[in-house]
Amino acid sequence: MFIETQTDMWSLKATSAVLAPTPDFKRFNRFGTTAHMIWFFRRLCGFGPPPAKPNFTVLCIGLEGSGKSSLLAVLSGEKYEDIPPTIGFSIKALMFEDCIVDVKELGGRESVRPYWDRYYAGAQGIIFVVDSTSSDENLKLASNEFHKALGDPVLDDLPLLVLCSYQDKQDAKSPSQLQEILEVNLEDGHRPWAIRGCSIQDRDSIKQSFEEFNRFLLHPTNHSKDHSNNKDFSRL
């Protein structure tokens, strides 16, 4: 029986934060805080409130142990040690400079994967995580699940990011090798995509991959036929 769990629900992390100075209540008594002063002058000068950031919902899928939960934890600044496997699904909201991405991570166990398609509705992008150190047998299984998911009509043409995890390991296969093994060949389609290497030991590798993926979400038509960057595979 499939049991849904909602761990780390709406854990919101910002990539940077600016601390406002302590307000001088004697000076700004009428407005209470510096924030109110800023709001007042924006209104006085004809400026409205700052525009809301675009919000996207994306799927994060992959076999059990591929590193999905750990990568998301590192990106959001949380501890990743001893993270339990996701049984059903979890949602984590990640705040970037230009958008907010709600990542719906689906568990990768054999008993859970048949139910993935129940959570496809409403997705605006796909993140597929593969363990770069996987055995040939597991990589074949990952390839089957990868193509099964991408072949679902609900996910047709959605932006795609393939994350090759554990690139810090000596036996890790490169993204170019994994592209061939997974048979990632989408050049003739309209789906913007990228395949990138990453590691929980290198937060920047995860952040940069997400930032590229975010550009697909924000400007999908600009990337629908241009996948030249996907030929540049960097190893850590």
Question: What distance in Å separates the CA atoms of residue 25 and residue 107, rounded to the nearest whole number?
Answer: 51
68 marked ligand binding residue = yes
Angle 156-157-159 from CA coordinates, rounded to 5°: 120
Q: Where are the alpha helices (DSSP H) in 76-182?
A: 136-150, 175-182
DSSP-assigned states of every residue in 210-226:
HHHHHHHHH-GGGSSS-
64 marked ligand binding residue = yes
69 marked ligand binding residue = yes
65 marked ligand binding residue = yes
Question: What distance in Å separates the CA atoms of residue 107 and residue 109, rounded to the nearest whole number?
Answer: 6
**DSSP helix/strand/coil, 103:** strand
125 marked ligand binding residue = no
Question: What distance in Å separates the CA atoms of residue 76 and residue 14, rounded to the nearest whole number?
Answer: 7
Is-contact 58 104, C-beta < 8 A? Answer: yes
Q: What is the DSSP letter of 137?
A: H
User: Which residues make up each annotated binding site?
Assistant: 62-69, 86, 108
Which residues sit in the known binding site for Mg(2+)? 69, 86
- Binding-site positions for GTP read 62-69, 108
